[in-house]
Amino acid sequence: MTFQINKIGIVGAGQMGTGIAQVCALAGFEVRLNDLSPDRIVAALATVDGAIARDIAKGAVKEEERKPALARIKAAPEFENLADCDLVIEAASENEEVKRKIFTRLCPVLKPEAFIGSNTSSISITRLASTTNRPERFIGIHFMNPVSRMQLVELIRGIATEDATFEAAKEFIGRLGKTSTVSEDFPAFIVNRILLPMINEAIYTLYEGVGTVEAIDTAMRLGANHPMGPLQLADFIGLDTCLSVMQVLHEGLADSKYRPCPLLVKYVEAGWLGRKTQRGFYDYRSGTPVPTR
């Protein structure tokens, strides 16, 4: 018998954690949202309210779903507030040390049967699971960004992940109305193993002067029918996240084809991380994106 998941804890009230909270609440799950910063939890709740309002305007969500969904999400400023959750999803920044610290502090307060999922986009699930007291109940649950719009969720089993954990996670994704795909536990899994080297190559194309930001993005939008250009997409993902994934690929697979482009490193060092800092390959400060190269 599959363990029933009803209450979801989410650690990290950033872009991904907020999106996961939104889809879980709309699907009828009770949600407890945790973050180091109480202000970020408040901001996340406001973001969910605004996002649901936009979905109502588009006809994607019914008006009567709004209040019940918002009522299902409650602030959980302390890990102790997650004690009765059936599944806790870690959605902190893509930094292994940060994630390890979270699991070390989180595990002692969870009930023994609770599952832990990590929304990591690139880091070894086996390695993360080894820092917990329940590696057999640990699984990678990688949502795509933006969570509310993207249909796919990657499920990644660590070496110790039990079948019951996998089946419970798969059923959970189904209840969200999303499609799961299964990846082996290799650096960056499936989507980012293919997507991020393409973005990195687009940055090399810019770095080597083959084309401008505008030329590269237009070429891939109109020449490969991509919904947005790779540099625009990098800004949307966050250049720090792009760099983290490329570093995981480069270190994990030891192949020079995954070497992060020096220009990507330079932008991250400058703090130009894309949309979230208002500057990346485009400058967003005027309200109209302007290429920065």
Active-site residue, selected from the candidate residues 34, 121, 124, 244: 121
Active-site residue, selected from the candidate residues 118, 119, 192, 244: 192
Measured N-to-C along each axis, helices 15-26 and 38-58 cross at an angle, to the nearest 10 degrees, of 50
Dist CA 157 CA 161 (whole Å): 6
3-state SS track over 218-233: HHHHHHCCCCCCHHHH
Whether 192 sits among the annotated catalytic residues: the reply is: yes
Q: Are strands 138-143 and 152-157 parallel, antiparallel or unpaired?
A: antiparallel
Active-site residue, selected from the candidate residues 34, 90, 124, 142: 142
Quick check: bond before 146 cis, omega within 30? yes
Dist CA 53 CA 58 (whole Å): 9
Whether 81 sits among the annotated catalytic residues: the reply is: no
Give, rounded to a whole angstrom, the gap between the first and last alpha carbons of the chain: 57
* SS3 category, 106: helix
Task: Give φ, ψ of 176 to 5 degrees.
Answer: -80, -5
Whether 244 sits among the annotated catalytic residues: the reply is: no
Dist CA 159 CA 142 (whole Å): 17
Whether 225 sits among the annotated catalytic residues: the reply is: no
Both tokens of 94, joined, read: 């893509």
Task: State the burial class of residue 108 (Cβ atoms within 10 Å of its Cβ: 0-12, 13-18, 19+).
Answer: exposed
- Pair 138, 111: CB distance under 8 Å: no
Dist CA 80 CA 131 (whole Å): 19
Active-site residue, selected from the candidate residues 94, 122, 124, 154: 154
Enumerate the active-site residues: 121, 142, 154, 192
